[in-house]
Amino acid sequence: MTNHELMVCRCEEVTFKDLSETAEKYNCSARELKLRTRAGMGYCGGRTCRTLVDKVTSDLGKDSRNQITLKYQPPVRPVNFGDLKGGEHNE
């Protein structure tokens, strides 16, 4: 397996090659790269791939200090209202 075949975002199935090619083609910031490839927008909310998305853009010479940063998004899971109040709920 080469670096280009490396799966960076498992949730959205984005490879290092996808990130590199998109970043070079559009001269993306990390935020734009995320939006164009969906890396970091999957179930884990970017906790496993965010640093690599940032790294790809910093390798292109993008100054991240003047950019809108990527945020971590906690996973969302459905919760019953009965579970929130601590009692039993009727279905």
Q: Give domain limits for the chain.
A: 3-75
Q: To which residue do tokens 């791939």 refer?
A: 49
Q: 0.75 cut: is pTM over it? A: no
pLDDT tens track for 52-74: 888 888 877 665 555 555 555 55
**Total Cβ atoms within 10 A of residue 37:** 23
**In CATH, what is the architecture of 3-75?**
Orthogonal Bundle (1.10)
Query: What integer is the mean pLDDT of 15-42?
Result: 91
CB atoms within 10 A of CB 56: 23
Among candidate residues 50, 48, 44, the one with its CA nearest the CA of residue 71: 50
The tens digit of pLDDT for each residue in 37-50 reads: 999 888 888 888 88
pLDDT given at position 15: 94
Q: What angle do CA 15, 21, 24 make, to 5 degrees?
A: 140
pLDDT at 67: 55
